[in-house]
Amino acid sequence: MRKVAMTSDNHFDINRVDIAAVVAQQVTYLLTQQVTDYLIAGDLFNDFRETVAYVEQMAQQLQPHCRVFFIAGNHDMVRGTDFSELQSRVNTHYAHQKLITFPGTDYVLIGNNGWYDYQFAQLPGKTMTDFAHWKKAFWIDGVIEQPLSDPERMDLVLATTEKQLRQAKAQHKKVLFMTHFVPQDAYIIHQQRALLETGNAYMGSPRLGALLQQYQVAYVLFGHTHFKYPPHQIAGTTYLCRPVGYGTKRRHEWRFGRDFISEWRACLQILDLT
């Protein structure tokens, strides 16, 4: 059996936490809970180099009792990396485009950073060009350089994911899929104001949810929404989304604790896989 703990959207820099203190607290808690695998579904820092450094520090302190795997969220991609590196293997902890076994179980982890294709935005008349221009002007992702369009990047996500889902199916394995972006419209909050609804264009893609449903994926971990949900089943798949989010004066999203570590513990989701 494996005891898998899952988190997303810790946003250490925006939340202005003391990294050394938080690492010590997180490591102690995970070891006390006898967690064997710690999964991080993106958005640790606004700099990929800092994200990688944190993950490597956690992994070093948790070994040999607990493995650490992460993917990149859009915030991690803002600085300190490029598209080529994000598509590379990076290190043993980076789960993007990898199929990773959970020893002693019938499960595998499939990781993919994910992306978006504007389809969640309910704005008839808006073109792909409109969404691309709005992103460049107003969305944080506008600074992320990439050699292909957003719908093309989502096509790549789907193609890679389906290849690994086929591989898992051939091995008769159940799948825990980890991504950052939203795969189901049930997690999208639609807005009457066009300006607010435009933001939904960059939340994810319903095509990913359809693909996961097609392959009867057991569990899906994601973040990005900054809304906290209990586990929810859609068409036989259990979706897990409980991001830590921002605890700032301007945007205070913490619901369970008055400090970062309390909120992180309360938002941590744990699965026993056999």
Break the chain into its structural domains and give their ranges: 2-273
Instruction: Report pLDDT for 258.
Output: 87
Give the pairing type, strands 232-234 and 237-240.
Answer: antiparallel
177-196 average pLDDT score = 96
CA atoms of 57 and 26, how far apart (whole Å): 11
* Cβ proximity of 137 and 226 under 8 Å: no
* Cβ proximity of 222 and 181 under 8 Å: yes
- Tell me the per-residue pLDDT of 34-85, one tens digit each, with 9 for 90 and over: 999 999 999 999 999 999 999 999 999 999 999 999 999 999 999 999 999 9
pLDDT at 257 over 90: no
| Overall pTM surpassing 0.95 (yes/no) | yes
- Express the helix, strand and coil content of the chain in percent, nearest 5 each: 35, 20, 45
CA atoms of 70 and 95, how far apart (whole Å): 6
Exposure on the CB side of residue 136, measured as CA atoms within 13 A: 10
Instruction: Report pLDDT for 91.
Output: 98
* Cβ proximity of 207 and 160 under 8 Å: no
Pick the CATH number of 2-273 from 3.60.21.10, 3.20.20.70, 3.40.1350.10, 3.40.50.1100: 3.60.21.10
266-270 average pLDDT score = 98
